[in-house]
Amino acid sequence: MTRLLRRLQLLVLGLVLVVAAFSTGLPFLFYLVYLAILVIGGAYVLTRLGLSDLEAGYAVNQLSGHVGDRLRVTYTLRNTSRIPKPWLEVHNPTSLPAGLPGRALALRGRTERSWLIRTPLTRRGHFRIEPDGVAVRGRKDAVRAVPGRRERHR
């Protein structure tokens, strides 16, 4: 509800700015309108391009284990486009007691990054490791998505 209220406030502020610019004809207000269009449009394009053409996957070294074993998970994030992805945050949802750490990284065009996470199995039970969640981060807000992925177990 607060996100909707915040968007409504920004929309009303933008509408007031446009009406004030056209009614007064002040060049400074038109500058603010153009600047707002440029910033909002640029942020939208950067966010959408940031999540396109990403592939994420993981490989687990074992499907079952005993208390005291170390689980090894290899994550891979691949950028298949030519456009670099400067701000990516990878989140690894899991029900493991120790959890899996996320990672912030940047990917150049047509590159991939892989990393290994070792986590101890400290409790008995059935645990799930979900697919990677990738976010394109700005200063305050994030757009989250789970890109096309290939899951495999070794």
- Pairwise pLDDT comparison (139 vs 105), residue with the higher score: 105
Give domain limits for the chain. 2-49, 54-153
Share of the chain above pLDDT 70, in %: 84
pLDDT beyond 80 at 146: no
What's the N-to-C CA distance of the chain in angstroms?
44
Residue 114: per-residue pLDDT: 92
Q: In this structure, what token pair is assigned to residue 58?
A: 């993981």
pTM: 0.65
Which residue type occupies 16? V
Q: How much is the average pLDDT of 9-26? A: 94
pLDDT beyond 50 at 149: no
SS3 of 44-83: the string is: HHHHHHHHCCEEEEEEECCCCCCCCCEEEEEEEEEECCCC
Q: Does residue 150 contact residue 112 with C-beta atoms inside 8 Å?
A: no
CA distance 131 to 146: 7
Q: Which DSSP category does 94 fall into?
A: B
CA angle 114, 120, 124 (to 5 degrees): 125
Report the mean per-residue pLDDT for the chain.
Answer: 82
- Pairwise pLDDT comparison (133 vs 52), residue with the higher score: 52
The number of angstroms, rounded, from the C-alpha of 144 to the middle of its chain's C-alpha atoms is 4
Per-residue model confidence as pLDDT tens digits over 41-92? 988 888 787 778 888 888 888 888 888 889 898 888 899 999 888 878 888 7
Residue 132: per-residue pLDDT: 64
Thinking of the domain 54-153, which architecture would CATH place it in?
Sandwich (2.60)
pLDDT beyond 90 at 147: no
Read off φ and ψ for residue 85, nearest 5 degrees.
-110, 95
CA angle 81, 100, 132 (to 5 degrees): 30
